[in-house]
């Protein structure tokens, strides 16, 4: 029997948890990398909890529709959100956010981290990240970069890189990474910071040049590629996370139980391999530490949005 914590201390909850199916809301369309990852995790959690964990795709409004649905759900552990870093950026961009990432949710566990690849078109003379930064400093604003849209996570990633390197770049938003990478290969934009899966095909075909990755360690999918912090941008790191959150007010006993099951699920080698195939690395983290990460990143995104004048379309 699980325990819930109320004003009078720990109290036994009514019945065993879970006694019915759980819903894992994915605020993105079916078939994408976040949806694929959520479904892998849901299957493992279903086995562990003895109840189905049903994935519910509620896409729209840059992921805010699904997040808002979970924020308003009963805080009973049966409705959860599979979120990514855009959970934070989407709230930053709106003058009147439909949810508060820190007040309306409680983190259950972080699941994964995924870094970005700094790529340039073959028409760009820079062969190293140091060369690129030097070129950008010599010609402020002349180099352009593509993103998957205004306010996208790679829009924020590129502005974070520019701020860290002390350079100014010109933003060209696209409707997705595919056209951005196509225009990079075609010489219509100069730089793209994209996820490993979204850049791999063009990098391996030789149509674009990869200069560095933005994480704290090398990417196993791109062996030999340096990390940005040691290749010309000291102190710069940027990655995207995925994780599970619950509505605020969910009893701590349920958060602990669910967090434990997520951590156990992430020990599965098959799950690890599946996430790596999507360009992510498993990075389990408990509720308290994950909560601190969210607060720190939210502040970082707010500052970036203000400095770079990033606004919702």
In Å, how far are 4, 69, 125, 189, 200 from 148, measured between CA atoms?
43, 25, 24, 13, 16
Whole-number pLDDT of residue 24 = 98
239-247/79-84 β-pairing: antiparallel
> Of 307, 313, 311, whose CA–CA distance to 168 is shortest?
307
Please state, in angstroms and rounded to a whole number, the distance separating the CA atoms of residues 276 and 302.
Answer: 30
Whole-number pLDDT of residue 118 = 98
In Å, how far are 237, 241, 263, 265 from 282, measured between CA atoms?
17, 10, 10, 11
> Of 182, 179, 285, whose CA–CA distance to 239 is shortest?
285
191-195/208-213 β-pairing: unpaired
- Helices 153-165 & 129-138 angle (0-180, nearest 10): 80
**pTM of structure:** 0.90
Whole-number pLDDT of residue 15 = 66
Note down pLDDT in tens along the chain; length 313 residues: 344 333 333 333 446 999 999 999 999 999 888 899 999 999 999 999 999 999 999 998 888 999 999 999 999 999 999 999 999 999 998 878 899 999 999 999 999 999 999 999 999 999 999 999 999 999 999 999 999 999 999 999 999 999 999 999 999 999 999 999 999 999 999 999 999 989 999 999 999 999 999 999 998 888 899 999 999 999 999 999 999 999 999 999 999 999 999 999 999 999 999 888 888 999 999 999 999 999 999 999 999 999 999 987 6
> Of 139, 244, 144, 238, whose CA–CA distance to 188 is shortest?
144
Please state, in angstroms and rounded to a whole number, the distance separating the CA atoms of residues 157 and 147.
Answer: 10
Q: What are phi and psi of 83, to 5 degrees?
A: -110, 160
The CA angle 247-274-220, to the nearest 5 degrees, is 110
Q: In sequence order, what are the residues at sequence separation of 6 or more whose Cβ sits closer than 8 angstroms to the Cβ of residue 183?
A: 146, 172, 174, 189
Please state, in angstroms and rounded to a whole number, the distance separating the CA atoms of residues 12 and 26.
Answer: 31
- State whether the Cα torsion 165-169-171-172 is positive or negative: negative
Question: What is the Cβ-side half-sphere exposure of residue 173, based on CA atoms within 13 angstroms?
Answer: 13
3-state class (DSSP) for residue 86: helix
Q: Which residues pair with 115 in a beta bridge?
A: 239
**In the chain, what are the domains?**
17-113+241-308 (3.40.190.150), 114-230 (3.40.190.10)
């Amino acid at each position: 029997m699980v325990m819930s914590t109320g004003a009078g201390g720990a109290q036994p909850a009514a019945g065993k948890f879970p006694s019915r199916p759980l819903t894992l809301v994915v605020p993105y369309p079916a078939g994408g990398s976040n949806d694929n990852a959520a479904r892998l995790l849901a299957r493992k959690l279903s086995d562990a909890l003895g109840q189905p964990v049903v994935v519910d795709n509620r896409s729209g409004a840059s992921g805010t529709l699904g997040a808002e649905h979970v924020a308003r759900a009963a805080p009973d552990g049966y409705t959860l959100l599979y979120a990514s870093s855009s959970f934070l950026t989407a709230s930053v961009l709106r003058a009147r956010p439909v949810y508060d990432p820190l007040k309306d949710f409680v983190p259950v566990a972080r699941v994964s981290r995924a870094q970005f690849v700094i790529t340039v078109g073959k028409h760009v003379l820079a062969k190293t990240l140091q060369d690129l930064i030097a070129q950008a400093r010599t010609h402020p604003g002349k180099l352009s970069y593509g993103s998957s849209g205004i306010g996208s996570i790679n829009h924020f990633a590129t502005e974070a890189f520019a701020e860290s390197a002390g350079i100014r770049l010109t933003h060209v938003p696209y409707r997705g990474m595919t056209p951005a990478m196509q225009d990079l290969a075609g010489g219509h934009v100069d730089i793209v910071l994209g996820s490993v899966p979204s850049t791999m095909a063009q990098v391996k075909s030789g149509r674009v040049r990869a200069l560095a990755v933005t994480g704290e360690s090398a990417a196993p999918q791109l062996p030999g590629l340096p990390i940005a912090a040691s290749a010309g941008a000291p102190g710069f790191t940027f990655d995207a996370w995925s994780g599970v959150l619950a509505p605020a007010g969910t009893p701590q006993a349920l958060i602990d139980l669910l967090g434990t099951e997520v951590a156990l699920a992430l020990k599965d080698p098959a799950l690890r391999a599946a996430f790596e195939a999507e360009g992510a690395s498993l990075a389990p983290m408990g509720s308290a530490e994950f909560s601190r990460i969210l607060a720190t990143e939210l502040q970082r995104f707010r500052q970036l949005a203000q400095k770079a004048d990033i606004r919702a379309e």
